[in-house]
Structures are given as C-alpha cells and as structure tokens.
C-alpha cells in the first residue's frame, strides 16, 4: 500500500490532543485498540507535505510486540527530499503484558488491515493483565502500556486517532 500525501488547507483548525489525553488513551487502550496519525513529513520544508500512515502497508515493519519501524518515503515523490522513519516502542507496567492473558493472541504494535473502530490500516495496541486480581479500575503504572513514537526528523501538526477502545475477558477494561 502506498502512503497518501495530503495538504492541510490554510486556516484549517488544529484539533491536536493534549499529551495527557494521548497518554491516558495509551494507558487504557484495549486489545482491539488502534492508532493512526497524520504528520507533516517536513517541519523545515518550504511546502510541508502531510502523510497519512497506513500501518498495515509495506512501509511498516514490526520487529516484535514491543517495537517496529515505519518508513515515510520521499514526501513529494520527485526525489527532491528524503523520507524519514518513525520508530515505535512500547513498555509495560509490572502487571501488564503484550497480547491476551492466555498468550493465545498478541497483536501489540501489529499493523492491522481489517477495519477496527471504523478505521483500517491501523496500529493495534494489545495488552492484558498478568494477574487479574492486581488490575484496578483506575490508572496505575503497574497496569499500563507506554507507547513511544520517535521521529528521525522534526514534525509539526502531529495528530493521533485512537479508536475501538474496549475490553474482553481477561483483558483490561476502559
């Protein structure tokens, strides 16, 4: 799949979520949770080009359930610029693990092509408690997953869409 390039219209409102909202969403994302983002490929370019990430496409390589790399190609396709990479990593709290509690399914940091929460080509976040009796109704560091996105170049106008946050038996509840 290719990465679509779009231009943000001049004067378009910015609806970027706060850091707290992103962190809260990442802490409580469930097995079917998915995230996608749009970020300009160049912060210093005269004509920034936005990129919509297709996590299930050929540009994303999952190294493990805790790391992966998305490669954004030359943003204008004309060879005038260079692409960038987005490294994704996750760390779990002491009562959290990748995948479901029975260890029969692990979609954490996997590109998912099927529709989830109305979106396709998404990045799934999938975690579960190690011990049910230690999970709580409130956010705690033990019952969390922190997902970090590291960009090889500066970006502006970054936004995330987090969708399909839910729970299943032996998984966290939102």
pLDDT of residue 170: 64
Q: How far is the C-alpha of 45 from the C-alpha of 42, rounded, in Å? A: 5
Q: Are 68 and 61 in contact (CB under 8 A)?
A: yes
pLDDT truncated to tens, each residue of the chain (174 aa)? 333 434 444 444 445 555 554 444 444 443 333 333 444 444 444 456 667 788 999 999 999 999 999 998 876 666 666 788 999 999 999 999 998 888 898 999 999 998 877 888 899 988 888 888 887 777 788 888 999 999 998 888 888 888 777 666 666 654
What is the per-residue pLDDT for 46?
47
Using a CB cutoff of 8 Å and minimum separation of 24, what contacts does 133-138 make?
A: 134/95, 135/95, 135/172, 137/173
State the pLDDT at residue 69: 97
Let me know: does 124 contact 108? Beta carbons within 8 Å.
yes
Collapsed DSSP state (helix, strand, coil) of residue 19: helix
**All structural domains of the chain with their residue ranges:** 16-163
| DSSP reduced 3-state for 92 | strand
* Residue 97 near residue 170, CB atoms below 8 Å: no
Neighbours of 5 (CB within 10 A): 15
Residue 64's DSSP bridge partners are 67
Give the integer Cα–Cα distance in Å for 82 and 96.
38
Helices (H), 48-131: none
Which tokens go with 51?
């990129």
pLDDT score of 49: 62
| Per-residue pLDDT at 134 | 80
Rounded-to-integer distance, Cα 144 and Cα 55, Å = 22
Distance CA 88, CA 75 (A): 20
Please report the pLDDT score of residue 5 as a whole number.
38
Confidence (pTM): 0.67
């Amino acid at each position: 799949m290719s990465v679509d390039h779009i231009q943000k219209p001049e004067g378009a409102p910015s609806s970027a979520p706060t850091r707290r909202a992103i962190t809260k969403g990442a802490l409580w994302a469930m097995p079917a949770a998915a995230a996608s983002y749009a970020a300009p490929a160049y912060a210093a370019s005269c004509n920034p080009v936005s990129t919509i990430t297709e996590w299930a496409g050929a540009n994303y390589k999952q190294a493990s359930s805790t790391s992966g790399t998305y490669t954004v190609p030359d943003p204008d396709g004309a060879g005038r610029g260079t692409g960038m990479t987005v490294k994704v990593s996750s760390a779990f709290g002491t009562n959290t693990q990748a995948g479901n509690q029975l260890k029969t399914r692990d979609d954490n940091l996997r590109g998912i092509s099927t529709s989830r929460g109305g979106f396709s080509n998404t990045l799934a976040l999938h975690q579960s408690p190690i011990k049910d009796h230690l999970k709580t109704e409130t956010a705690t560091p033990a019952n969390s997953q922190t997902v970090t996105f590291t960009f090889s170049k500066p970006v502006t106008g970054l936004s995330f869409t987090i969708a399909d946050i839910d729970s299943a038996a032996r998984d966290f509840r939102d």
